[in-house]
Structure 1
Amino acid sequence: MTSTQITTRHAFRRTDNYTAGAPKLKLVEEPLPLPLAPTSALVKVHAVSLNYRDANIANGGNPWPVLPNGILGNDAAGEVVVVGNKVKTLFVGDRVAPITDTVNMSGREVGRSWLAADEDGVLADYVVFDEEKLCKLPTYLDWVAAAIIPCAGVTAWAALSGMSVGKTVLIQGTGGVSVFALKLARAAGLRVILTSSSDDKLQMMKEKFASPPLLTVNYRHPGWHEEVLSLTQEVGVDIVVENGGTGSLVKSIKCTRRGGIVSQVGYLGKQDACDLAELVPTIIDRRVILRGINAGSKYDMEDLCAALSATQMPLDDLIDTVFPFQQAEEAIECIWQGKQIGKLVLRL
């Protein structure tokens, strides 16, 4: 291992105090996990992108167990500063990010380990990962833009898998995964229908993505799925990037063409099993493939980074606000209240 004087890091750990108004994060200084293992790398973090799951975990809403007082964050971009003496694929100076599920290399693994849940996340100025869990980032992007790739970007990429030019996709919401999916879908020649509960947000998105014209539907309308069907001449969309969960899933299936795909990427709405009373007959009638998307594999991330590098696609227009690292608490609250359109990023 290359010699280094770096032995500690600053990180935001959860307080696990779910009382309304109470601080959800605590800034700590702690020892780094040293000595560095032979196949590991020490990474200096330059930017951390926050997701809804971070706010949900911080507020006690995650439906899966989490590490007590863990470090939040699973979207980051950083620079390799030290490598172990058996590292073969990385060099000092490489721009990298860890994958969200550190077990999911090829997509065939039977286990999982999620950053910021099963293990500590990346909301820190230094992190340590084994080289196989790190993926090289496109060099044309700045740190802030690159930081949105590992979770939001890879989730959007995996959710759109199987689509081809001319297909129609329904994308729910204007959060990080949704806007990334919108950008990828438009670049791939897909027709996009975007939903939101806010007419103001929809209008902003129509102005930002004006050519070709963006089709939009307000999902506060009880019959929003019928509006989607109307926009597709009653055939239905080819694929749905489903963000709501139980409250929207059945309607999403109803406006998907027979034999289409629903990619379940989130659960932003209030979850109530009673909303699923029609699920079985509807999914059979529509012959829809319902697939769960947990970000994606390392292979997915490598494929996305290759596509971005080849097209030099700008990602700055997907960033809502950039906060300094010290304002992590404020940024988490902003996401929890759903104020953003696109991504919130912390710059170190």
Structure 2
Amino acid sequence: MTMLPAVTHRRAFRRTDDFTPGTPKLKLVQEEIRQLAPTDVLIKVHAVALNYRDANIANGGNPWPVVPNGILCNDAAGEVVAVGDKVKTLAIGNRAGPITDTENISGREIKRSWLAADEDGVMADYIIFDEAVLCLLPDYLDWTEASMIPCAGVTAWSALKGMSIGQTVLIQGTGGVSVFALKLASAAGLRIILTSSSDTKLQRMRDQYPSILTVNYSKTPDWDKEVMKITEGAGVDILVENGGASSLVKSLRCTRRGGIVSQVGYLSGQDSGDLRELIPTIIDRRVILRGINAGSKHDMEDLCAALTAAQTPLKDLIDRTFAFEEAEEAVEYIWQGKQIGKIVLTL
């Protein structure tokens, strides 16, 4: 086993699990780094990207159980600084990050374990993972860009599976997954419709991607009908669904018969009353509704290969960076919905 003698402790942000508004949601702690197992890899973290999921967990809104006082976040990029003596796929100096669901290697596994929920996440200056759940990250990206890949990037990649050049995709919102999906869809030659409740955010996206079409769902409550008009009554081929219960039926209504709705989020809450028409609508539209929980290790490897082949820049997906020590402020920034794109902590 190769171990750096100087690395005996790490700094990490653990949740306070105090969900009272206005109280700190994170606590910076210093803790010992455990000894490496034979197939373990020690990574010095250089950047951690945040998702809405992190703010939701920190504020007690996660619909699934989480470990008490766990470490937040599942998007990170870092440098391998030590390896166990049985590690074969990674070496000191490699750039790597863990997959979001550490049980999901090939996509055929029956179990799941989510970082920052079932187990500690990555909001720390050093992290240890088994080599089986780590992926090499593209060399051409800087640390902040690479940190967005494991969760937001792989989720967007998985949500767009099955797309073909010239098809139409509807993407909801301007958060991390949405802007990553927008980037990939644009590169793949898809016609893009973007929805948001903010004209300012939509205009910013149009400035960046002049060919996209936009709909403000706040000003156009029947936004599904507007999307049907845009698509001349056919509906979109793929829809990246971020809203959840309140928007799902409308999403199904504006997806073409036989099309795909990729459910990636639940921003609107979980009012079952909004789903009264789910069954007749999904049957009528013959839509494939698929749940997206990031993706497998193989998906992450495929995404990294595609990004590397095209040398796709990702810097434009970053809304703002915070210092690692400003994690509390960064989480609150996302909780208030201020971001257009990704928020990244730098170390």
* TM-score, structure 2 normalization: 0.99
- 1:65 alignment counterpart: 65
- 1:336 alignment counterpart: 335
- 1:4 alignment counterpart: 4
Deviations 1:7-32 (A, max 9, x none): 11000000000000000000000011
- 1:24 alignment counterpart: 25
- 1:215 alignment counterpart: 213
- 1:123 alignment counterpart: 123
**Partners in 1 of 2:82 and 2:19 — Cα distance?**
37
**Partners in 1 of 2:157 and 2:163 — Cα distance?**
10
The amino acid of 2:20's aligned partner reads T
The amino acid of 2:45's aligned partner reads V
Is 1:149 the counterpart of 2:181? The answer is: no
Flag the 1:3–1:281 CA change in 2: closer, same or farther, 3 A. Answer: closer
**Partners in 2 of 1:201 and 1:322 — Cα distance?**
18
Provide structure 1 residue ranges, at least 5 long, that are not aligned to the other structure. none
**Partners in 1 of 2:110 and 2:3 — Cα distance?**
37
Q: Superposed, which structure 2 residues align to 1:89-238 within 5 Å?
A: 89-210=89-210, 213-220=211-218, 221-238=220-237
CA contact (8 A) 2:3 2:83 kept: no
**Partners in 1 of 2:55 and 2:3 — Cα distance?**
37
Give 1:209 deviation, angstroms. 1.2
**Partners in 2 of 1:115 and 1:32 — Cα distance?**
18
Is 1:84 the counterpart of 2:84? The answer is: yes
* TM-score, structure 1 normalization: 0.99
Q: Superposed, which structure 2 residues align to 1:258-277 within 5 Å?
A: 258-277=257-276
The amino acid of 2:212's aligned partner reads L
The runs of at least 4 consecutive aligned structure 1 residues that moved more than 2 Å come to: none
Of the structure 1 ranges 259-268 and 215-224, higher mean CA displacement relative to structure 2 is found in 215-224
Give 1:222 deviation, angstroms. 1.5
Provide structure 2 residue ranges, at least 5 long, that are not aligned to the other structure. none
**Partners in 1 of 2:295 and 2:288 — Cα distance?**
18
**Partners in 2 of 1:200 and 1:347 — Cα distance?**
27
Aligned length: 345
- Match of 1:282, SS state, is helix
- Match of 1:120, SS state, is coil
The amino acid of 1:182's aligned partner reads L
**Partners in 2 of 1:271 and 1:238 — Cα distance?**
25
Give 1:3 deviation, angstroms. 3.4
**Partners in 2 of 1:271 and 1:293 — Cα distance?**
17
The amino acid of 1:31's aligned partner reads E
**Partners in 2 of 1:229 and 1:172 — Cα distance?**
15
**Partners in 2 of 1:204 and 1:133 — Cα distance?**
36
Deviations 1:17-50 (A, max 9, x none): 00000000000000112x2000111000000000
- The CA RMSD over aligned residues, in Å, is 0.5
Is 1:346 the counterpart of 2:345? The answer is: yes
**Partners in 2 of 1:78 and 1:286 — Cα distance?**
44
- Match of 2:109, SS state, is coil
- 2:55 alignment counterpart: 55
The amino acid of 1:3's aligned partner reads M
Give 1:214 deviation, angstroms. 1.1
CA contact (8 A) 2:19 2:60 kept: yes
- Match of 2:20, SS state, is coil
- Match of 1:258, SS state, is strand
- Match of 1:266, SS state, is coil
**Partners in 2 of 1:291 and 1:270 — Cα distance?**
18
**Partners in 1 of 2:221 and 2:175 — Cα distance?**
21
Deviations 1:304-331 (A, max 9, x none): 0000000000000000001000000000
- 2:253 alignment counterpart: 254
- 2:312 alignment counterpart: 313
**Partners in 1 of 2:4 and 2:93 — Cα distance?**
14
Give 1:270 deviation, angstroms. 2.7
**Partners in 1 of 2:2 and 2:160 — Cα distance?**
41
**Partners in 2 of 1:282 and 1:4 — Cα distance?**
58
Deviations 1:233-280 (A, max 9, x none): 010000100000000000000000000000000001132100000000
**Partners in 1 of 2:90 and 2:2 — Cα distance?**
13
The amino acid of 2:153's aligned partner reads G
**Partners in 2 of 1:22 and 1:114 — Cα distance?**
26
Deviations 1:113-133 (A, max 9, x none): 000000000000000000011
CA contact (8 A) 2:73 2:123 kept: yes
